């Protein structure tokens, strides 16, 4: 089977995951405070959500896409409020005096599912995938069983990025003093809170526009 669809999917996965946003900041902060495992679990939650969006776009599931966009305003408000909550909690968190060595299964599960839900709270991402699918010729140049291969590539590319990011950041954990971690928590918290406020504002505007129509 032609490996090009998989490689193209990997490129899309990295392209979606790499831009620094609230999930990236959250991954960095968690990798510093909880170790690479927690950081990777955070990233994998986003990777799974991106793969789901990519599947919807690649398979042309129009009804689901329309439903996602229909509820995007309300879901965006909830996602933005969740970001605000995470931002405040991150700002107020107290850094540990000892480096993290391992993480409990509950911590990994919480990191994974919180990020999965947070990423799914941005249904507009499916539009980005729709544009990428058109650019890569999904349905024309890439057809049949090559589409699942492309989707698998999306997950692999996104997961590889989060593995690289969490591993690189966690390797710096031993050099971070509690004072440094306190400032990192405050900076991360402020950024995440800011993104949350922006997300809520945009979602409220979109919802108000829907009511007007």
Q: Residues 137-156: pLDDT tens digits? A: 776 667 778 888 989 999 99
Number of separate helices (H) and strands (E) present in the chain: 9, 0
Contact 115, 45 (CB under 8 A): yes
Report d(CA 110, CA 138) in Å as an integer.
34
Decide: 79 and 121 in contact? Cβ < 8 Å.
yes
Residues in the chain, overall count:
213
Tell me 21's DSSP state. Answer: S
- The answer to whether the CB of 22 falls within 8 A of the CB of 83 is yes
> Residue 170 is encoded by which pair of tokens?
């966690």
pLDDT tens digits for range 60-115? 765 566 666 666 667 677 778 888 888 898 888 776 555 555 566 678 899 999 99
**Residue 139 pLDDT:** 63
Cβ atoms within 10 Å, residue 7? 15
* pTM (predicted TM-score): 0.77
- How many Å apart are CA 199 and CA 181, to the nearest integer? 26
Query: Per-domain residue ranges for the chain?
Result: 4-78+94-177
From residue 109, alpha-carbon distances to 29, 40, 41, 42, 104 in Å are: 17, 11, 7, 9, 9
63, HSE (Cβ side, Cα atoms, 13 Å): 0
| Contact status, residue 118 vs residue 42, Cβ threshold 8 Å | no
Q: Indicate the range of 19-23, 44-48, 152-156 predicted with least confidence.
A: 19-23
CA 70 to centroid of chain Cα atoms? 21
Angle between helices 125-136 and 62-70 (to 10 degrees): 150
């Amino acid at each position: 089977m032609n490996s090009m669809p998989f490689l193209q999917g990997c490129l899309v996965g990295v392209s979606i995951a790499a831009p620094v946003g609230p999930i990236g900041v959250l991954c960095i902060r968690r990798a510093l405070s909880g170790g690479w495992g927690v950081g990777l679990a955070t990233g994998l939650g986003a990777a799974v959500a991106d793969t789901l969006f990519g599947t919807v776009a690649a398979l042309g599931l129009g009804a689901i896409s329309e439903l996602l966009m229909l509820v995007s305003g309300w879901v965006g408000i909830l996602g933005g409020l969740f970001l605000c909550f995470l931002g405040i909690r991150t700002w107020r968190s107290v850094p540990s005096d000892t480096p993290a060595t391992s993480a409990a299964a509950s911590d990994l599960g919480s990191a994974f599912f919180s990020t999965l839900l947070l990423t799914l709270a941005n249904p507009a991402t499916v539009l980005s995938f729709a544009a990428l699918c058109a650019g890569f010729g999904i349905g024309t140049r890439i057809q049949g069983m090559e589409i699942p291969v492309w989707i698998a590539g999306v997950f692999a590319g996104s997961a590889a990025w989060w593995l690289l990011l969490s591993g690189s950041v966690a390797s710096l954990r031993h050099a971070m003093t509690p004072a440094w971690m306190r400032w990192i928590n405050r900076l991360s918290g402020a950024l995440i809170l800011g993104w949350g406020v922006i997300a809520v504002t945009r979602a409220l505007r979109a919802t108000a526009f829907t009511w007007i129509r």
